[in-house]
Amino acid sequence: MEEIKLEIGEYEEGDLREIVAIERDSFLTPWSENIFLNEMTCPISRMLVGRSYHLQKRLVAAYLVYWSVEDEIHIHNIAVRPELRRNGIATRMLEEALRRSRREDARRVTLEVRRSNLPAQRMYEKFGFSVKGVRPGYYSDTHEDALIMCADLQMIPLAADATVVKSGGGDV
């Protein structure tokens, strides 16, 4: 049994290869390397990278991209390395993004999620997000609807620390 320690910080040179691999394992129409590079130069875009030191290996465990516009943030992309899912990592990543945004006086958080993506919807609901609208056929690959989910940032309870996510097995 070993703790999965998660260190959340800024993007570092050298992370991109792992990020793109996680992205490809996570989405039907993954972002290309160029899309990530564009995000990094976009003034409203913020990117967090979660690194784990599981079994003495340093891995990119997760990443989260959000946009910050006036008093609102928009969760643009979040994914966790498949073999590390269900360990609370996305929860910690989202908490960290929300904590940082709250410090910058953001009040509202929005996102779009595929109607079929129930794991992500369950996670957002645990944070207090609710569905406020639908964008019919929003995703060009499958023409699936997007659910628009929103939450009041001030109402979300946030834990103080974001490093150790779980004691448990795993073979990464």
Ligand X SMILES: CC(C)(COP(=O)(O)OP(=O)(O)OC[C@H]1O[C@@H](n2cnc3c(N)ncnc32)[C@H](O)[C@@H]1OP(=O)(O)O)[C@@H](O)C(=O)NCCC(=O)NCCS
Binding site for ligand X (CB under 6 A): 26, 78-80, 85-91, 113, 117, 119-120, 122-123, 126
Which pair of structure tokens corresponds to residue 170? 């795993």
SS3 of 49, please? strand
- Closer CB to ligand X, residue 26 or residue 110? 26
- Closer CB to ligand X, residue 94 or residue 106? 94
Shortest distance, position 62 Cβ to ligand X, whole Å: 7
Among residues 80, 164, 83, the alpha carbon closest in space to that of 123 is found at 80
| Count of beta carbons in the 10 Å neighbourhood of residue 154 | 9
- Closer CB to ligand X, residue 58 or residue 86? 86
Among residues 172, 171, 169, 166, the alpha carbon closest in space to that of 5 is found at 166
- Closer CB to ligand X, residue 9 or residue 119? 119
Shortest distance, position 63 Cβ to ligand X, whole Å: 10
Our answer to whether residue 95 is catalytic in this structure is no
Calculate Rg over the CA atoms of the chain.
Answer: 16
Our answer to whether residue 124 is catalytic in this structure is yes
Shortest distance, position 11 Cβ to ligand X, whole Å: 17
Catalytic, out of 112, 138, 139, 144: 112
Shortest distance, position 84 Cβ to ligand X, whole Å: 7
| AA letter at 47 | M
Q: What is the rounded (10 degree) CA torsion for 116, 122, 124, 126?
A: 170
d(CA 51, CA 115) in angstroms, rounded, equals 29
Q: What are phi and psi of 55, to 5 degrees?
A: 45, 45
Q: Would you name the residues annotated as active-site residues?
A: 112, 124
